[in-house]
Chains A and B, each alone.
Chain A
Amino acid sequence: MAQVETKGLTKLFGGVNAVDNIDLMTQEGEFLVLLGPSGCGKTTLLRMIAGLEEPTSGEVLIGGRVVTNQPPRVRNIAMVFQSYALYPHMTVFKNIAFPLQTRGMKKDDVRKKVEWAAGMFGIGKLLDRKPRELSGGERQRVAIARAMVRNPSIFLLDEPLSNLDAKLRTSAREELQQFQKRVGITTLYVTHDQVEAMGLGDRIVVMNKGRVRQIGVPREVYQKPADTFVASFLGSPPMNLIEWGHLLMGFRPEHFLPVEVKASNAESNVVRFEFEVTWVEDLGSDRLVYGDIGHQCAHRHVISKIPANVGVFIEGGKTYSFAVAREDLRFFDRETGLHTDTTPL
């Protein structure tokens, strides 16, 4: 297996830097997620690593070798597209065999390898079918089997789960993760779904507007966001951000709870707020409480996420005392949005 490295990788599209000077280095065998909203450049970055897009400047290295201007077929990578890109006029067998045939492998060897790959993903009985006869989940497996059949050094995936329905997505996610751990192949995975990213990634690269905002393990990116973008992109509902003096103060909805719950903490470790509740949503597993905290000058709209096992009665139209533990507060510079360590409290 190999590492992927980019140095100062940039791509210009019509006067705008779709990918802006990105330095990246994967770790051996890791599952690296590129996360960001549409148009942030994550797919372009992936495509440049694959060789489908020519960078405006910078370098791409795979396994220590510079491959920047080389075509995809010499990079020994595998890729799964969002649409799976199965060859519609070929059977599943021929689809999986194709990458081997282009390398001139002998017929018998091809057959053995295809059956091996098919067996690994449980699609052995589908080998004679055509893609249009398969379900979404089956197509995904064929795409992955085709990718793996020639033992590539890098595995690239472009939002491969977004075409599956919600229920299938979770089980597919689990399968994908287990497969990657078992095989240990360095994987780059593009998604805009932060739940997927948190679930799958060994590390997450959060991107926006062509730049990397933060790289870190999920826990770190979630709990110690580097700026307001990362803070509001991760977490559902996103982090509450309110103006506090010359800074922005942030706290996650799940840390913003009725004061009784926080009562166990010492008084000095907790910041109180008077919370005017406007609306409560009971989602079963949690309750989302929407409301305003009047602070300093302006009323700020915030959300609280109360887990089901907390039975405090909350009603719309009333005001309650809520609190956040000091250690759960994050502060950001108002102009740059960057996290700052200075704590005005």
Chain B
Amino acid sequence: MDVSDGASITQKLPPERSRFGRLLDNERLLASLMIAPAILYIGVMVGFPFSLAILYSLSDATTGNQTLHFVGLRNYIDVLGDPVFRKSLLNTFFFSLCSQALVLVLSKILALALVRNFRGKRLVRFLILLPWTAPISLGTIGWLWMLDSIFSPFDWILRKMGLLGAPDALFGPLSNLYWLGEPSLAMLSVILVHTWRMLPLATVILLAGLTSIPHEILEAAEIDGAGFWRRLFRITIPLMLPIMTIALLFGIVFTFTDMTVVYVLTRGGPVHSTQVLSSWAFFKGIEGGDLAQGAAVAVFLFPMLAGVAALMLKLAHRTEVA
């Protein structure tokens, strides 16, 4: 062995490290130390308020009098008897499921289209993502105008096409549809905005899933004689089921808990027809000052979310196998 070149080579084992130095090797210690701040923060800022919310719902606190007097399930009973609450609960499910069903179909089509290469793809991607990447409240503001009772561009188009504004028009003789003023149209509008906003996220997730299918499988199917539609429904979609479900669950979670779209678009109106659990909890608890009732309303969000979370967990484990 060539031991020349100056530097002393004979390697003795380095001296015993100091106690501190050894700490930097102690994996268990390091692991706990590194995760502690996160656990601490989440415990204090999420866990604690979460329990507090439950407590509030069982109390009679208001913003004026914030002391907790235990009143049992009275708030829940009040809340369940409230027709606005029942409408909110219904709406929450209705909006989420409708918009996500639409999103599922639309995002599938879009993902399939985006898998190919075409010119201007990067720009298209950016534009497609805008509804999701723009801040929620700001994007919704654009829709406020689109759905305005006087100036809506939709109405303008419909008028120009003769479907609106004339006595025998398909959509009625009035010059405008009250997108945000008429209860059923308002609900439709909220669903529309939710769909618009969640489409990019779902598309991106599905696209990732689509590209992870080994192309040999599809080639084998082609050799076996399967055409486009058969390949789609017999191979592509079944293979993407786990990731489609994940996209669906994410979408449901975000629409289920959303309050921004409703607040900016309709403030829950007209006459609470577009109220959802989150917005109603907000109006009751923050604007109305009734903390206890607001908390009770909000608590109803949780079982659904817990269910969704459990489902996502199961799926997460299953996709690992793939």
Contacts and interface: CB of A to CB of B under 8 A. Distances in A.
Q: Do A and B come from one complex?
A: yes
Contact of A63 (B13, B14, B25): B13
Given A74-B14, A153-B11, A184 B1 contact: yes
Nearest to B14: A74
B7 interface: yes
Contact of B7 (A65, A74, A113): A113
Contacts of A151: 1, 3, 9-11
Contacts of A74: 13-14, 16-17
B13 A109 contact: no
A116 interface: yes
B6 interface: yes
Chain B interface helix/strand/loop/mixed: loop
A113 B11 CA distance: 14
| Best-buried of A63, A71, A150 by chain B (most CB within 10 Å) | A71
Interface centre among B7, B17, B25 (most CB of A within 10 A): B7
Interface residues of A, number: 22
B5 interface: yes
Contacts of B3: 151
Interface residues on B, range: 10 to 19
B13 A76 contact: yes
A71 B13 CA distance: 12
B191 to A, nearest CB: 48
A330 interface: no
A67 to B, nearest CB: 8
A152 B13 contact: no
Interface string A93-121: 00000000001010001001100100010
A290 B56 CA distance: 81
B2 A71 contact: no
Nearest to B27: A54
B11 A71 contact: no
Contacts of B22: 71
Contact of A116 (B2, B10, B14): B2
Interface string B1-37: 1110111011101101100001001000000000000
B2 to A, nearest CB: 7
A74 B14 CA distance: 6
Contacts of B1: 151, 182-184
B14 A105 contact: no
Nearest to A112: B5
Contact of B5 (A63, A65, A116, A184): A116
Contact of B6 (A62, A109, A150): A109
B11 A150 contact: yes
A141 interface: no
B12 to A, nearest CB: 8
Given A112-B6, A112-B7, A183-B1, A65 B13 contact: yes
Contacts of B5: 112-113, 116
A182 B10 CA distance: 18
B217 to A, nearest CB: 27
A152 B11 CA distance: 7
A339 interface: no
Nearest to A116: B5
Contacts of A109: 6-7
A262 interface: no
Nearest to B3: A151
A113 B6 CA distance: 10
Interface core residue of B1, B6, B9 (most chain A CB under 10 Å): B1
A105 B13 contact: no
Nearest to A106: B7
Q: Which 5 A-B pairs have the closest CB atoms?
A: A71-B25, A109-B7, A151-B9, A183-B1, A76-B13
Interface of B: 1-3, 5-7, 9-11, 13-14, 16-17, 22, 25
Interface of A: 62-63, 65, 71, 73-76, 103, 105, 109, 112-113, 116, 120, 150-153, 182-184
9 contacts: A62-B13, A63-B13, A74-B17, A76-B11, A105-B7, A109-B7, A112-B6, A151-B3, A151-B9
Given A73-B14, A74-B14, A150-B11, 6 more contacts: A65-B13, A74-B16, A75-B13, A112-B5, A151-B9, A184-B1
